[in-house]
Amino acid sequence: MKTARKAVSLLRAFTRQEPELGVNELARRLDLDPATVHRLLRTLQAEGFIEQIEVTRKYRLGLGVLELASGLLQQRGIVGVAMPFLEDLHAKTEETVILDAFNGAEVVCLAALNSRQEVRTTSFVGERAPAYCTSAGQTFLAYMSPAERKAHLPRELKPLTPKTVIDPAQLTEILAEIARTGIAVSDESCHRGVRGISAPIFGAGVPVIATVSVTVPKQRLTLKQMASLSRLVKMTATAISDALKRLDPHGTLRPASERPLDR
């Protein structure tokens, strides 16, 4: 198990900001000796999860990671079901639309349709963010029991911006409001200059299976405009939830009268 954890930590060391890393850098970050890191890299390389760049001799993620992610998304089926509704919301808003899942104390992007406007927010598949300070993450937390929520929140809530809520009592009040309204709003709580709106997608077996979010540069979304955008986001999440209920045991969408939101 220790070796498995080391391998997972190594894979997670590669990020969008730093997609290429050498043996010594990985060893420092993971607090491992270079020989151990080299052995892990060779094993992961043999399985296609890591590849070495010939010119720099550094390493980066291999196509095996993408194959695993693709298989997971196909198994869950949610991306295929949700995509027509996400595209419809993207066309209506012309802003960035995101489908998120919950993993530990973070939200993970399953699909993203980025805005094409000159000033925009962006996201990408696999991107992670803390749950406690994002509208998507707060949506997941809002529908958990107090015990579940405690297990998924860090002991200390750290501010990522001046507007990050780090007081547990205040966060509890926010989550109660989200559970009441079915809408979560973030106002520069995770990233400066970014506002976001999220709504839950409900599935069998878990209270919230995913979330739909729209993120917008602050200057293009006033607090007054949030009401109309919130309605669109919630309608989209409800439509996806309804579509998921029509899946047969094999993951095939049964015919029904539902279709993407009327224009």
Say how many CA atoms lie within 13 Å of 79 toward its Cβ. Answer: 18
pTM of the model: 0.69
The CATH superfamily assigned to 77-245 is GAF domain (3.30.450.40)
Name every residue whose Cβ is closer than 8 Å to that of residue 178 and which is 6 or more positions away in sequence. 138, 139, 142, 184
Q: In what order do the strands lie in the sheet with 194-203?
A: 128-130, 106-113, 96-103, 206-217, 194-203, 184-187
Q: What is the pLDDT of residue 71?
A: 56
Single-letter residue type at 152: H
- Residue 95: what pLDDT? 96
Is the distance from CB of 63 to CB of 50 less than 8 angstroms?
no
Topology annotation, domain 2-66: Arc Repressor Mutant, subunit A (1.10.10)
For 220, the token pair is 């293009």
- Domain positions in the chain are 2-66, 77-245
* Secondary structure tally for the chain: helices H, strands E: 9, 8
Walk along the chain (263 residues) and give the pLDDT tens digit of each residue. Answer: 578 888 888 998 887 678 889 999 999 999 999 999 999 999 999 888 898 887 888 998 886 776 666 555 554 578 888 999 999 999 999 999 999 988 878 898 999 999 999 888 989 888 889 999 999 999 999 999 888 898 888 888 999 999 999 999 999 999 999 999 999 999 999 999 999 999 999 975 567 889 999 999 998 888 778 889 999 999 999 999 988 887 644 455 454 434 444 43
Asked whether the beta carbons of 135 and 163 are under 8 A apart, the reply is no
Complete DSSP assignment for 68-92 = HHHHHHHHH-HHHHHHHHHHHHHHH
Q: Cβ neighbours of residue 204 under 8 Å, at least 6 residues apart?
A: 245
